[in-house]
Chain A
Amino acid sequence: MTWSRRSISSPSHADARLAGVLSAAAGLAAAILVLIVLFLLRESWPVLEKVEWLRYLTDAAWHPSEGLFGLAPMLGATLASSAGALLLAGSLGVASALFCRFYAPSSIARQYRRLLALLAGIPSVVFGFWGLTELVPLIARWQPPGTSLLAAILILTLMILPTVALTADAALAAVPEGYLQGAAALGLSRSGTILGVALPAAKGGIVSGLLLAAGRALGEIMAVLMVAGNVVQTPHGLFDPVRTLTANIALEMAYATGEHRAALFVSGLVLTGLVMLLAGLALRQGGTRSHV
């Protein structure tokens, strides 16, 4: 309370009321997260209690109806597809943001940004459907079966590219004009300015955008479900079909009962943990940025 009193400059009742309402809303939002985790724990408890925790990583396969609960291949597939998509979308996104900021004429840059925003609004199921009917057959002609880690990576790349490009663009726009003028005054070339000044200064914002995009890639369901092939296995190459944790839940939840259902909640728990880890990283990233 002492903290809020000090930071409110005019101690009117309206301010105090607003602070109360806002902190209640913030508390509620935080409570929802705690409740979600508690709920996941409660629903997965029947198998968490029965099956030794390490077995979720060491079991040879995922056949919950036969008592095998190996999540590791799906965890690997989730990480591999997201990492691949981040790599592709990261390089493409940052490149397009640099083009937009430093090379494109302003009219083209404006149109381009609008296009990206539009792309960001396309529902994932549309990407998935396109992937299933166009992209997968294309890969299948080359390397059957077509539904593969590669297809998942490409579809996820399309989905997160706008997020990466737009946040990188915003981060580059926030680089103080003085830095760029200083670089120009020192006689740096445009590429020197970009690599030596603009990118390092915008690094924090770009990485935050990447982490945001990673969260979206990890949590994507429909698009991945349609193109990844959904076979539970550790991929040995880009053309192997894989199943992600989210696809596993979506595929089996409607039909699962008993331990099978509880085991699916364990997949949900693992995924939530993964996303929270990422959010933690993003927070730390945001923290360091404000000190630069």
Chain B
Amino acid sequence: MKLKAMTTTWRLMLVLALSTAPVSHAIEQKLVLTGSSTVAPLAGEIGKRFEQENPGVRVDVQSGGSSRGIADARSGLADIGLVSRALKPEEQDLKSFTIALDGIGIIVHRDNPVQTLTDAQIVAIYTGKITNWREVGGGERPITVVNKAEGRSTLELFLRHFQLKNSDIKAQVVIGENQQGIKTVAGNSGAIGYVSIGTAEYEASQGAPIRLLPMAGISASVENVRNGSFPLVRPLNLVTRVEPEGLVKRFIDFARSKAQDDLVQAQYFVPLAR
């Protein structure tokens, strides 16, 4: 009887010791990540796995655009900023670490006979100088230009690549998410749009009636994004204000390791070539 009471007490003490220790630890070990809504879901998944492998660490991910990622990393509001583009010249005070790549490809409807467009033709289409597919070797059909909403980093990258201003673009449809772009092009045989290549490749393989066009003669495939030959590629970055150390460094190394490639692919991004 006495022995049993003793063991119960011991067990209780053991449980108490186990349950309190990580809690007090967790308060010290919290990582805050904010920024790009493109990177946030991937960072969230990596964060979950990091938490599992490092009990007592909490990874808090909030999205709000690449500009917020930059601002929060600078001000120290976030330990790590999420930025879905390369750092601009005026942002060189920050340190950036690429965790994955994302290519942006031009998509058209599957039934569109046009097989390729030159950069000049794409610019002419997006600025409203070419308004019918007939003018670029397609059928007699008006072109529906699908553009991204202001502030999206996909738009910024597209504009920078073709050296355009958003006010130059004469769009017929303005969209938010990649999915909305794919649905729009799939439902309109005269539409042209640009979306994340990984997402487009996946949707096309699932039967969505869309086709990725090559750009400057290089086919828009995940493979060409990985080997760096595709021209319109953006890095998905983690940025910090100072050289990372301690927990931040551990997380960045973890996110960049090969073990995370499955998470990168699950979000239709392209893992780093190592």
Chain A interface (Cβ < 8 Å from any Cβ of B)? 61, 63-66, 68, 132-133, 136-137, 140, 144-147, 225-226, 229-232, 241, 243, 250-252, 254-257, 260
Task: Specify the chain A residue showing the minimal Cβ separation from B180.
Answer: A226
B37 within 8 A of A: yes
For residue B74, give the distance in angstroms from its CB to the closest CB of chain A.
13
Q: Which 9 pairs across A and B sit closest by C-beta, in order of nearness?
A: A255-B151, A137-B187, A145-B144, A230-B174, A251-B149, A255-B65, A145-B172, A140-B188, A229-B173
Given contacts A63-B150, A255-B153, 20 further A-B contacts (CB under 8 A): A132-B184, A137-B188, A140-B187, A140-B189, A140-B190, A144-B188, A145-B190, A145-B191, A146-B144, A146-B187, A147-B184, A229-B172, A230-B149, A231-B172, A232-B174, A250-B176, A255-B67, A256-B151, A257-B67, A257-B71
Shortest Cβ gap from A251 to chain B (Å): 4
B142: CB under 8 A from chain A? yes
Tell me the bound Cα distance from A147 to B145 in angstroms. Answer: 11
A71 CB to nearest B CB, Å: 14
In the assembled complex, 15 residue pairs joining A and B whose CB atoms fall closer than 8 Å, in A order, are A63-B166, A66-B167, A132-B184, A133-B183, A137-B188, A144-B141, A147-B173, A226-B180, A231-B173, A241-B172, A241-B173, A251-B149, A257-B67, A257-B68, A257-B71
B134 CB-CB contact with A under 8 Å: no
Asked if A132 and B174 sit within 8 Å, CB to CB, the answer is no
Residues on the B chain within 8 Å of A251, using CB: 149-150, 174, 176
Q: How far is the CB of A273 from chain B (nearest CB, A)?
A: 23
In angstroms, Cα B151 to Cα A260, docked, is 9
Question: Which residues in A have their C-beta under 8 angstroms from that of B176?
Answer: 225, 250-251
A132–B183 CB distance below 8 A: yes
Chain B hits for A230, CB < 8 A:
149, 173-175
Contact of A63 among B64, B167, B187, B189 (CB under 8 A): B167
Tell me whether B63 is interfacial, beta carbon within 8 Å.
yes
List the interface of chain B (C-beta within 8 A of A): 37, 63-65, 67-68, 71, 141-142, 144, 149-153, 165-167, 171-176, 180, 183-184, 187-191
A255 contacts which chain B residues (CB < 8 A)?
A: 37, 65, 67, 149-153
- Output the least CB separation between B26 and chain A (Å): 29
Complex CA gap A232/B37 in Å reads 24
Q: When the two chains form their complex, are residues A145 and B173 in contact, meaning their CB atoms are under 8 A apart?
A: yes
Return chain A residues, CB-CB under 8 Å to B149: 230, 251-252, 255
Q: Roughly how many angstroms separate A166 CA and B130 CA in the complex, as a whole number?
A: 49
A residues near B64, Cβ cutoff 8 Å = 254
Contact status B166-A66, CB under 8 Å:
yes
Nearest-CB residue, chain A, relative to B179: A132
Bound CA span A136–B189, Å: 12
Measured between alpha carbons, how far is A61 from B169 in the docked complex, in Å?
A: 12
Q: A68 with B167: in contact, given A132-B183, A137-B187, A144-B188 (CB under 8 Å)?
A: yes
Chain B, Cβ-Cβ closest to A229 = B173
B123 to chain A, nearest CB (A): 18
A290 to chain B, nearest CB (A): 45
| Known contacts A147-B184, A230-B175: A140-B144 contact under CB 8 Å | yes
User: Given B174, B180, B189, which contacts A243 in the complex, CB threshold below 8 Å?
Assistant: B174
Docked CA distance A260–B149 (Å): 13
How many angstroms between the C-alpha atoms of A192 and B187 in the bound complex? 48
Chain A nearest CB, measured from B72 CB (Å): 11
**Min C-beta distance of A21 to chain B, whole Å:** 38
With A133-B187, A136-B187, A260-B151 as given contacts, are A144 and B142 in contact (CB-CB < 8 Å)? Answer: yes
On chain A, the residues within 8 Å of B142 by CB distance are 144-145
Q: Does B190 lie within 8 Å of A257, measured CB to CB?
A: no
Nearest A residue (CB) for B170: A231
Return the contact of A254 from the options B63, B144, B166, B191 (Cβ within 8 A): B63
A254 to B64, CA, bound (A): 5
- Chain A residues with Cβ below 8 Å from B165 are 66
Question: Smallest CB–CB gap between A144 and chain B, Å?
Answer: 5
The CA-CA distance from A254 to B37 in the complex, in Å, is 8
Query: Is there an interface contact between B174 and A231, defined as CB atoms closer than 8 Å?
Result: yes
Which of B37, B153, B187 contacts A132, CB < 8 Å? B187
Most buried by B among A63, A64, A254, A260: A254
Task: List, in ascending order, chain A residues with CB within 8 A of B173's CB.
Answer: 145, 147, 229-231, 241
Query: In whole angstroms, what is the CA distance A33 to B187 when docked?
Result: 41
